Amino acid sequence: MHEERTLILVKPDGVSQGHIGEVITRLERKGYRIEALKVTNATRAQLDQHYEDKVDKPFYPEMVKYMQEGPIVAIIAAGISVVSVFRRMAGKTNVSEADFGTIRGDFGREWGDGIIRNVVHSSDSVEHAEREIAIWFELKNVCF
């Protein structure tokens, strides 16, 4: 067991619906440390890097539209097993299947346009977390 970091994004629906505080509160309530936090607007270049495994999917243009609907909040959270534990706190990708008690289950909903707006992103591995942190915080003009 050792300290690790994860990258959390409060997505545009989470920001516009007023859930920034709730995400922060849940992190703090669980005892995780917030190492960095900022409000920003996702650029196309950042999204192409962040979602490199999705750029060729037919729904990728919808994802870009969604992620650029408004500002997002990027958070670096740290603690023991924070990557896997925050994934469980976030809940399932599909908001209508996400368990109540999870962020997506409590605050996410479908809007009838086919876009999966699910309130938060969280890294799925320590390796991906470090890669994603570089995209949103540390490295400018980086090429992956």
Is position 99 an interface residue for ligand GDP (rule: CB under 6 A)? no
Based on CB atoms, which residue is closest to ligand GDP, 84 or 141? 84
In the bound state, the residue with its beta carbon closest to ligand GDP is: 93
Beta-sheet strands, E only, within 18-62: 33-40
Active-site residue, from 2, 19, 50, 121: 121
Smallest separation (angstroms) from ligand GDP to the CB of 129: 12
| Residue 121 is among the residues annotated as catalytic for this protein | yes
Choose the contact partner of 69 out of Mg ion, ligand GDP, none; CB within 5 to 8 A by kind: none
User: Nearest-5° angle of CA 85, CA 40, CA 121?
Assistant: 25
Q: Which residue stretch of 6-14, 20-28, 81-89, 120-128 sits at the interface with Mg ion (rule: CB under 5 A)? A: 120-128
3-state DSSP percent of the chain in helix, strand and coil, to 5: 40, 20, 40
Burial class (CB in 10 A: 0-12, 13-18, 19+), 80: exposed
Residue 102 DSSP one-character state: B
Choose the contact partner of 36 out of Mg ion, ligand GDP, none; CB within 5 to 8 A by kind: none
Is 75 within 8 Å of 8 (Cβ atoms)?
A: yes
- Centroid of chain to Cα 115: 16
Smallest separation (angstroms) from ligand GDP to the CB of 131: 14
Based on CB atoms, which residue is closest to Mg ion, 28 or 99? 99
Length of the chain: 144
Is 106 within 8 Å of 118 (Cβ atoms)?
A: no
Is position 115 an interface residue for ligand GDP (rule: CB under 6 A)? yes
Binding region for Mg ion (CB under 5 A)? 124
Binding region for ligand GDP (CB under 6 A)? 54, 59, 62-63, 93, 114-116, 118, 121, 124
